[in-house]
Every structure is written in C-alpha cells, then in structure tokens.
C-alpha cells in the first residue's frame, strides 16, 4: 500500500483469502470479486500468484468476470508455473519500490500449476506479451490486452 501512495491512482485490493475465505470452497467464488465494481475498467492488474490458487474451472470463471473490466490498453502481471510436472510452493509478495519485490514463503493451500499458455487462453483478451523464467518452477508474466 505504501508503494501506491506515491502515485495518483485508484487502487482496488482483493485478497484471495480475506475476500473469499481460505480453502478451496472460498476460491470457487473468484468470479464474484467483480460483482460490486460496476463499469470500472482496469489499466493494470497485479495478480501475483493469485491465479495459481484457482482450479482450471475457477480460472475460466474469473477470466470471464474480469473480461468486462479490461480495455485495449489494459496490462497485467502474474506469476505462473513453468511446467505442470514440477512442484509449485505458495509465496507472498510485497512491492518494495519501483524496482524491487520481496518474496516470502507462505504455507497454505497447494497451488495449481497453470502455465502461461493456459493463463493466456482463459484471460482473453489478455495474452502473454513477455515471460521470464524464474527459480522454483515459476515464470513471471506480463500480459497485454488487444482489441476486444
């Protein structure tokens, strides 16, 4: 929160465990995160590793709900699995400043392993514009919306 205070912007925070409740039953409601937002359109979405905690079905529902809140200039950031065979552990992220992210190990539900191809397909009109391979079976993704 401290980081965003230095910018003139409207920030909406949605925490998977606070807003939906911990556990698989709460995660099934991911598409409902947008119910009360009206016609808000996002310029930037920071998903961190949120998408990894949704099943394939819930990820598709989340993508459908998000779609109406995107425009042709929307961008997003996410961490995804590099492969579906390697383990993926839970992490917590803290934005320190414009160039640094603090990453902490977190216990919780076991993440799903969605690759960048799956994420790009279900979050249309967002598609992966850049991907960087990281340690521990992770990729960092930059997604961009096209005309939708």
Note the pLDDT tens digit of each residue in 23-40. 444 445 665 666 667 788
The Cα–Cα gap between 106 and 38 comes to 33
Domain count, the chain: 1
Q: Range of 44's domain?
A: 4-145
> What size, in residues, is the chain?
148
Structure confidence at residue 26 (pLDDT): 46
CATH assignment at residue 88: 3.40.50
On whether the CB atoms of residues 101 and 69 are closer than 8 A, the answer is no
* Cα distances (angstroms) measured from residue 7 to each of 11, 45, 62, 95, 98: 10, 15, 28, 14, 11
Structure confidence at residue 142 (pLDDT): 92
**Weakly modelled stretches of the chain, pLDDT under 50:** 19, 22-27
Structure confidence at residue 22 (pLDDT): 47
Model pTM score: 0.72
Handedness of CA 112, 133, 13, 101 (dihedral sign): positive
The Cα–Cα gap between 103 and 29 comes to 26
């Amino acid at each position: 929160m401290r980081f965003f205070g230095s910018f003139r912007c409207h920030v909406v925070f949605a925490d998977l465990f606070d807003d939906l409740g911990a556990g698989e039953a709460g995660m099934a409601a991911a598409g409902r995160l947008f119910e009360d937002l009206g016609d808000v359109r996002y310029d930037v979405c920071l998903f961190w590793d949120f998408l990894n905690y949704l099943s394939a079905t819930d990820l598709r529902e989340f993508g459908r709900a998000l779609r109406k809140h995107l425009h042709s200039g929307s961008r997003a950031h996410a961490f995804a699995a590099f492969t579906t065979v390697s383990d993926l552990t839970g992490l917590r992220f803290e934005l320190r400043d414009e160039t640094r992210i603090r990453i902490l190990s977190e216990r919780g539900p076991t993440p799903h392993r969605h690759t960048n191809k799956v994420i790009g397909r279900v979050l249309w009109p967002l598609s992966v514009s850049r991907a960087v391979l990281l340690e521990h079976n992770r990729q960092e993704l930059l997604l961009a919306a096209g005309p939708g």
